[in-house]
Amino acid sequence: MEGLHVAIEGAVSAGLYRGIKVGDASLHLTHLFYADDVIFLGEWNRNNIVHIIDILHCFHLVSGLQINLHKSNLPGLGVPANTVDEYAQLTGCQAGKFPFVYLGLPVGANMSRNIKWKTVIDRFTSKLSSWKEDPLNPMENDLGHKESGGLDIGSLEAFNKALILKWIWRFYNDNQALWVDVVKSIYGEEGGLGWTTGFRSRSKEAHDLTFPVKQARCTIDHHILPIGSTSTLWNRFVPRKVNIFFWRCRLNRLPTRVNLDRKGLDVPSILYSICASQLEYSDHIFFLCPTSHLIWKSICKWCDSDFLTFSNVADMITWVDNAPISRTKTLLFQVIVMTTCWVIWKFKNASLFDLKRPRRDVLIDSIVDLSFSFFIHRNRKISSSWSAWLQNPLLAICL
């Protein structure tokens, strides 16, 4: 494409092709490149169009790259439709018209009108409508930082504003960019951004730096998103899906039968299928059910820890965090707790949906094996033998 650029510049210098004037007429545009696409901008006359076709033909002979004219469009702004059809037949292009869609966005439309954005909005809506509704519907608390009880997702509003700020920053720092020349030619040296005088002075002082979009987004989110009272427990030694699962469990956001019934879904029963004696809510599934009670008793014995009865996740996490052990062993204990809840949840689902009923007698083995895999494979600085892990995981790790 660089060769085509040189050919067009040569044609302009020789007076064979004339582009369009932008803004105060000090800027002329002849063509725009994006990857393998090119848009020619020029005065509407026969010579201009014929010379563009000649340039493309010469470029094909020299480089071997050929433009597919049958897939190209020739629109004319303020030109009668019959004239556009005539020149389209002359060039072998398809007759185009304004506005047209390029890279998913309408070109030549009055974008200050809301209706002109309908195509873009409909595209986003169609993507979002494919998401399945579940108990983890995004809410403001979920979008916030982990320190505020969220998942560090961030809001689209903050992301959009951060990207706008980046473009403003680039406007004041990237003076060689063509789009900057276009904006200045139309709106003046300030680009119609008189309110950003302070931002401009700071940008000029930091012209050698890059604009930190992530930092700007986090700063904006900090001001617009609610701040929770409890931070999110996020353990780097377990997979992301387990961390999110445990976050949902802690907030009672899992699709238990009780929660599904509260959302108006038709469930055959709200009793817990494993014991069929109590309602299926998170605290009963993970702590109060006789099966879970025996599992925790075995886990505490494996870790050589006193067995305590917990009624909810929050009490369990508080006990683990306050245990008189090192930070590394606390993280390890968290891995075991999160893995245990994960295995119990998988066992509950398998009992309902799998054709082959899962075995209860291998649940402890699954927890031991899976927690070892999670912890060891995600930390190269810590090692442990499998035999030592089987004896006591808190004593097996070597820093």
Examine the domain organization and report whether 13 and 112 are in the same domain: yes
Residue range(s) defining the domain that contains residue 110: 2-119
In a domain, 234, yes or no: no
Lowest mean pLDDT segment, chosen from 3-17, 149-163, 200-214, 314-328: 200-214
Q: Are residues 108 and 160 in the same domain?
A: no
Contacts of 257 (CB under 8 A, 6+ apart): 267, 269, 270, 271, 272, 279, 280
- Do 257 and 390 lie in one domain? The reply is yes
Q: Does residue 249 sit in the same domain as residue 390?
A: yes
Q: Indicate the number of domains in the chain.
A: 3
Indicate whether 250 and 390 sit together in one domain. yes
Q: Which residues, at least 6 apart from 225, have a Cβ–Cβ distance to it below 8 Å?
A: 140, 141, 143, 144, 148, 150, 155, 158
CA distance 55 to 37: 16
- DSSP count for the chain of H helices, then E strands: 18, 8
Would you call the peptide bond into 99 cis, given omega within 30 degrees of 0 as the criterion? yes
| Per-residue pLDDT band at 365 (split at 50, 70, 90) | very high
Dump pLDDT digits (tens) for 208-262.
Answer: 568 899 899 989 988 888 887 788 999 999 999 999 999 999 989 999 999 999 9
Domain endpoint, select from 119, 145, 173: 119
Residue range 130-169, pLDDT digits in tens:
554 444 455 677 888 888 888 888 888 999 999 999 998 8
Does residue 14 sit in the same domain as residue 80? yes
Tell whether 82 and 168 lie within a shared domain. no
- Residues 38-94 have pLDDT tens digits of 889 999 999 999 998 898 888 888 888 888 888 888 999 889 999 999 999 888 899
* 364 is a domain residue: yes
**Does 311 reside within a domain?**
yes
Which residue from 120, 119, 98 is spatially nearest to 109, judged by alpha carbons? 98
Residues 72, 18, single domain; the answer is yes
